[in-house]
Structure 1
Amino acid sequence: MAKISINLATGSLQQEELIVGIDLGTTNSLVAFINPEKQPQAINDTGKGLLVPSVVHFNEHGDAVVGNEAKAFLTTDPANTIFSVKRLLGRSYQDVADHQDLLSYKIIDDNTDALVKIRAANRFYTPVELSAEILKELKHRAEHALKTPVNRAVITVPAYFNDSQRQATRDAGKLAGLDVLRIVNEPTAASLAYGIGLNPQEQKTIAVYDLGGGTFDVSLLSIQNGIFEVLATNGDTFLGGDDFDRAIVDYWIEKNDLDRSVLQEDQVQMQTLRLQAELAKKALSTQNLYNEKAGDIWYSIDRQTFESLISENLERTLNSCRLALSDAGLTAADIDEVILVGGSTRTPYVKRKVEELFGRKPQDHINPDEVVALGAAIQADVLAGNRSDILLLDVTPLSLGIETMGGLMDVIISRNAKIPTKAGRQYTTSVDGQVNMKIAVFQGERDLVQENRKLAEFELKGIPAMPAGLPKIDINFILNADGILTVQAIELRSGVKQEIEVKPSYGLTDDVVEKMLIDSVTHAKEDVQQRMVIEARGEGEQLAYTAERFLEKNSQFLNEEEIEHTRLLIAQLRQSLQTADKDTILKHTDALNEYTRPFAERVMDIAISSAMKGKKIDE
């Protein structure tokens, strides 16, 4: 017997559970659905507004609030209020270190390729966990507004998000209790929203220029007979309206002769600066001068100055557009329509420069804040089987390949290859009698793998011992519609086979995510806490060992006080390793890391100086 439920908000019958579309944004997020009139509609829960600020605040008990309520804490409790978390998804500390100065919260550096951790309310969180809090709020608002359970969703990501970032987004959805049916590129979703009503006989080539709070990407799409085909994509996952704010902040710091080191310690003033810059940016879309006083400081800037400050960042977006055109073998004259997406495209200077590049006035009649979520809702409708007039062919934004001899990148799936797709190549052994082969998977466009991002590594074991060159090993890459990669390796003569789904080296595996979900439902938190303690202990033990070896080899470059304090911190860390308190272990790991970092820099400086004099010291 089929279940039939009634949506109390719309009065309509629904045989299938509702699937929503979610735009998980850097600055704001929102959720949309297909209404009874078969039109996509953003959800406004009890007058709270369509947009949910992507801000999470934790109180002293570790309880989270999200959205407008959390945004109020940006200036009153900045250290425990996290914003722009999307910029941290799937990234290591090294990826984001240059941007720490504009963040009010603490990003933890453990000198590894691990996922960054954020400290708030004396606890440590991953970007996946923080993004899950935002998704939980969106899920709650949708359920409250529509009076129906919401457990399935389509979530959008920038087209230029790599495999690690896509997987992190999927993990966040699972932690929020959502079955993520599809990860969709934001420009593709936007094209769907604008594609409604297109004449099926009409053929168009469209450029989607998407400039949000923290990310930029451009996609070139061919729309023909209801088929949306992405011809090329380009962009930058660390460029957006946040950078416009940053340019204004830097301008005011210089103009008002403010001390950056003092601002780093006074995060309340720094966040006041950042929020004033955001207000100025928005105001200058409709007026020529912004002049407001906060505290003892006048924050003043005119439109012409603002445009000069952002011109370099804006030129980077235009260069991405030129590269995408080149990749697709097109010129600006081949583009029939230009679509603007993202709140930052409201800036008149952006519209003007985009129009100059493409030679036509861009389309922006659908709210640029809503258009991605509306398109995601349409994609959800397609997956629900309610629409057969739309077909999506997406592309992979970066090349995928493996490491070969000499540290070279051997590309198996090229960037802009249509997905889903499968590609393979045959390899052999390089040493007589070789029985194992290490397969390291990388993503990127550089010839040397060390310049690209490592996604995974595994070994094909049990290759029959044969002279070098005789084994035949097929390595196949299977890239699914979400942009998630599966790698197969098979030795053809023996049939020895190994297959893995590639996970980012610092993401959460499906098993871990499922385990965390079960624990959250049953309140059996002990298993999850134990896993986190084990991970924290591993990090702590490694750092303590490294610090001890450093003291053994380089104590002559430290004074007695530094040596004694380092030994004290090592002892405290080792003592904390005996506990089962993850946050205490991470706290002591962080303390030792912070204290000893300058020593490593000092020894490196001495090493360089000594090398120039022909001397050598232990590394």
Structure 2
Amino acid sequence: MEGVIGIDLGTTNSVVATVRNNRVEVIPDRYGNRLHPSVVAFVPNGDVLVGHSARARRHIDPRNTIYSAKRLIGQSIRNPIVRLALSTLPYQIEEGPNEQPMIVVRGRRYSVPEISAFVLMHLKQCAEQHLGAPVSKAVITVPANFTDSQRQATKQAGQLAGLKVLRILNEPTAAALAYGFGKALNAVLAIYDLGGGTFDVTVLQIRDRIFEVLATGGDSFLGGDDFDRALVNRLAGEFLERTRIDLRTQPEGWAKLQTACEQIKCRLSDDPVVAGTIHDLAVGAGGKSVGLDFEISRQQFESLIEPYVERSVQACREVLAAAGLEPRDLTDLILVGGSTRTPLVRTAIEQQFHRKPQARINPDETVAYGAALQAAALTSGHADPAQFYSLLLDVAPRALGIAVAGGYNETIIERNTPIPVERTRKFITSKDFQTRVDIQVSQGEAKMFADNEKLGTLELHDLEPAKRGETEIEVTFTIDVDGILSVRAIDTKTGRETRATMRVIGAPSPGADTPDADPQHLPRPA
């Protein structure tokens, strides 16, 4: 029988699970490792390594070892936050079609979905070896606040890996499925998910087998990578003061320092002080190898990461307010993601929610566990699919709208609207004898379009020339169960319609780029 899997595709590590004999199994690699590093290494002989063997090459061959791809997937390379991330990565990245980042390795360019597809192929192969059967279907999880382009790019990565993607499932929802499996519950949960590169917080209500998201928020550029970077910058500064060598100009040394700082961070979760030597960071005067003696306390580390932790706490406050709840209204608190093991994170979240987190949840594996349950529920022919079925009522994490005349943003779907959903709004032309309308799509709550995130552009051509305001256009936004947006625009007079030319910024869509919209061709509210 063909296998079906659930995948938590993470920034730092990925996890794959399946349901067999009515039990969830987390699938290891051939060495027994249940956490699979989301790292891809391209070696000189042409082989591609994934997982632990790839991670071992990060400081040996940093220019050809790719990690943290999840922070880039579906993003525009022109996004200022992405530009900041690029400045810390040792491998080469160029701008490709649709502003998508292209990773250059050994003379070849790869899109980010192609890199993620290598990770997914590795997980698929591990599952096939474990199950002794082919695997072609999967549920893949993403952060709740992933944009439409990030979801589309993740789905494409699954398809490139030879998988039929049954569902793109939000990570907090998957964690809630794992929490509620096999129970008749009436509970209100807060799910705090802090991984290597992304952060989500979701408030969710469970009534029997109905899982309803009340509100969600987060930051797709907040996670353990930021903790690592803060520590790397601190120690790189000390190294520069002592040796006059800037490790940013030494890719191998920089990668070695990053690896060391990841280990220091983990040790500081248990030890109040960590001291030691990082050897062979650079070559100094006379060709002598230079290392760094260091000592850092948990208190010093916490002072470095406190701003990042506070950003996550502020998001928690906002999500509780959006749900109309107080901490006392919650039944339980679930922590997800390896970065929640950081003592400062746990302390801050316990103080915010006035409770200890649920102890039985494995923060590394619970998302894949829930994804496997959802995969079983969606697959006909399972031994007992009914016991795995739950009704999931998720929400749109951010408002979606379009640009209108004057540079304003007109919201069509509000933040935290339950999905799937379809909304239609009517607009009119903004100038005389207008023959086209440019529909610029945004994600965000700001009043001005430029202050939101631009998702893409849809063009409706060949309008019949008429006086300003006489031509009416219906714009319909549809979000499916995967959280993926489709947009349709119709000239109500002629019935002319466009829906297939939407260009999603940062997404690896085929064909030439469409030009930026002309402000003269923007619609205005009817």
1:211 aligns with 2:194: yes
Give the corresponding residue for 2:112.
Answer: 127
Give the corresponding residue for 1:106.
Answer: 92
Give the corresponding residue for 2:507.
Answer: 507
Give the corresponding residue for 2:204.
Answer: 221
1:333 aligns with 2:316: no
Alignment of 1:282-301 (within 5 A): 282-295=266-279, 296-301=291-296
Give the corresponding residue for 1:347.
Answer: 342
Structure index of larger Rg: 1
CA contact (8 A) 2:458 2:501 kept: no
- Change in Cα spacing, 1:399 to 1:82, as seen in structure 2 (3 Å) is same
CA contact (8 A) 1:341 1:364 kept: no
Give the corresponding residue for 2:129.
Answer: 144
CA distance in 1, matches of 2:482, 2:226: 29
1:280 aligns with 2:279: no
**Deviation per CA, 1:419-477, whole angstroms, max 9, x where unpaired?**
10000111122333333222222222222222222222232234333333233321111
Q: CA deviation at 1:319?
A: 0.5
Give the corresponding residue for 2:315.
Answer: 320
CA contact (8 A) 2:488 2:497 kept: yes
CA distance in 2, matches of 1:230, 1:89: 25
1:496 aligns with 2:496: yes
Q: CA deviation at 1:303?
A: 1.5
Give the corresponding residue for 2:41.
Answer: 57
Give the corresponding residue for 2:284.
Answer: none
Q: CA deviation at 1:254?
A: 3.0
CA contact (8 A) 2:36 2:52 kept: yes
CA distance in 2, matches of 1:265, 1:468: 58
CA contact (8 A) 1:33 1:43 kept: yes
> Larger deviation: 61-70 or 22-31?
61-70
CA contact (8 A) 2:76 2:505 kept: no
Give the corresponding residue for 2:55.
Answer: 71
CA contact (8 A) 1:80 1:105 kept: yes
CA contact (8 A) 1:490 1:496 kept: yes
Give the corresponding residue for 1:446.
Answer: 446
Alignment of 1:567-578 (within 5 A): none
> Larger deviation: 301-310 or 212-221?
301-310
CA distance in 1, matches of 2:501, 2:32: 40
Give the corresponding residue for 2:227.
Answer: 244
Counterpart amino acid of residue 195 in structure 1: G
Give the structure with the higher percent strand.
2
Give the corresponding residue for 1:517.
Answer: none
1:374 aligns with 2:369: yes
CA contact (8 A) 2:78 2:99 kept: no
1:157 aligns with 2:142: yes
Alignment of 1:546-561 (within 5 A): none
Task: For structure 1, list consecutive stretches of 5 or more residues without a partner in the other structure.
Answer: 6-16, 513-530, 543-619
Give the corresponding residue for 1:172.
Answer: 157
CA contact (8 A) 2:75 2:507 kept: no
Counterpart amino acid of residue 40 in structure 1: V
Structure 1 counterpart SS, 2:58: helix
Q: CA deviation at 1:496?
A: 2.1
- Change in Cα spacing, 1:496 to 1:81, as seen in structure 2 (3 Å) is same
- Change in Cα spacing, 1:338 to 1:259, as seen in structure 2 (3 Å) is farther
CA distance in 2, matches of 1:259, 1:159: 44
CA contact (8 A) 1:381 1:387 kept: no
Counterpart amino acid of residue 293 in structure 2: W
> Larger deviation: 158-167 or 424-433?
424-433
**Deviation per CA, 1:561-600, whole angstroms, max 9, x where unpaired?**
xxxxxxxxxxxxxxxxxxxxxxxxxxxxxxxxxxxxxxxx
**Deviation per CA, 1:60-107, whole angstroms, max 9, x where unpaired?**
354311111111111111111111111111122233211233212122
Q: CA deviation at 1:360?
A: 0.6
CA distance in 1, matches of 2:5, 2:243: 47
1:255 aligns with 2:238: yes
Q: CA deviation at 1:286?
A: 1.6
**Deviation per CA, 1:91-131, whole angstroms, max 9, x where unpaired?**
22233211233212122257x86101122222222211110
CA contact (8 A) 1:21 1:154 kept: yes
Counterpart amino acid of residue 212 in structure 2: E
CA distance in 2, matches of 1:502, 1:109: 20
Structure 2 counterpart SS, 1:92: coil
Name the count of aligned residue pairs.
Answer: 495
Give the structure with the higher percent helix.
1
Compute the RMSD of aligned alpha carbons: 2.1
Task: Among all aligned residue pairs of Structure 1 and Structure 2, give the percentage whose two residues are the same amino acid.
Answer: 45
Alignment of 1:537-552 (within 5 A): none
Structure 2 counterpart SS, 1:73: coil
Task: For structure 2, list consecutive stretches of 5 or more residues without a partner in the other structure.
Answer: 280-290, 516-526
Q: CA deviation at 1:181?
A: 1.1
CA contact (8 A) 2:457 2:503 kept: no
TM-score normalized with structure 1 length = 0.77
CA distance in 1, matches of 2:232, 2:469: 60
CA distance in 2, matches of 1:472, 1:164: 28
CA contact (8 A) 1:167 1:503 kept: no
**Deviation per CA, 1:21-61, whole angstroms, max 9, x where unpaired?**
0010000011100121x122210133341111011111235
Relative contact order, higher structure (CA 8 A, sep 6+): 2
- Change in Cα spacing, 1:326 to 1:57, as seen in structure 2 (3 Å) is same
Q: CA deviation at 1:149?
A: 0.8
Q: CA deviation at 1:179?
A: 0.8
Counterpart amino acid of residue 5 in structure 2: V
Give the corresponding residue for 1:608.
Answer: none
CA contact (8 A) 2:111 2:508 kept: no
- Change in Cα spacing, 1:24 to 1:261, as seen in structure 2 (3 Å) is farther
Counterpart amino acid of residue 346 in structure 2: K
CA distance in 2, matches of 1:47, 1:383: 30
CA contact (8 A) 1:58 1:64 kept: yes
Give the corresponding residue for 1:186.
Answer: 171
CA distance in 2, matches of 1:109, 1:374: 36
- Change in Cα spacing, 1:324 to 1:502, as seen in structure 2 (3 Å) is farther
Give the corresponding residue for 1:558.
Answer: none
1:31 aligns with 2:16: yes
Give the corresponding residue for 1:91.
Answer: 75
CA distance in 1, matches of 2:246, 2:312: 33
